[in-house]
Amino acid sequence: MKVEKVKYVLWAADWKRCLHFYRDLFGGEISFESETWSEIVIAGATIGIHGGGEGKRTWTGLSFQLDDLRAGIEKLKEHGGKLTREPTDTEEDPLHLAMCIDPDGNEFMMTCRRD
């Protein structure tokens, strides 16, 4: 037996909006698209978008490590995403984590490497 691909699945009330949100936010490549099931590849990882979700707020466990978290937060907001709370930036703890939510209620994290 050989594992061919690992996929992480998100449920979406509006599958097309969800698919385009992740494509536009992270520069993902849509590899398959249909009303029931779609796939997008981001940094080599495959995210499946399953239509028919309820749009309820749901923690996903997904985390995206970025090279520029501030730019990621701006882009998130531009594409209809939200922060669950504004991140803080202090001398003791520089900005490195943003808790986010997509337009379909899926919660995820954006992070950057700490020096």
Please give the span between the terminal C-alpha atoms of the chain, in angstroms, as a whole number.
40
- Do the domain assignments include residue 1? no
Give the CATH number of the domain where residue 31 resides.
3.10.180.10
Instruction: Determine the number of helices (DSSP H) and then strands (DSSP E) in the chain.
Output: 2, 8
CA 73 to chain centre: 12
pLDDT of residue 91: 73
pLDDT of residue 7: 93
Q: What total of structural domains would you count in the chain?
A: 1
What percent of the chain shows pLDDT beyond 70?
99
pLDDT of residue 12: 96
Q: Per the structure block, which two tokens stand in for 85?
A: 């709370």
Q: In which band, very low, low, confident or very high, does the pLDDT at 56 lie, cut at 50, 70 and 90?
A: very high
Residue-number span of the structural domain to which 93 is assigned: 7-112
pLDDT tens for 58-99 read 999 999 999 999 999 999 999 999 999 888 777 776 778 999
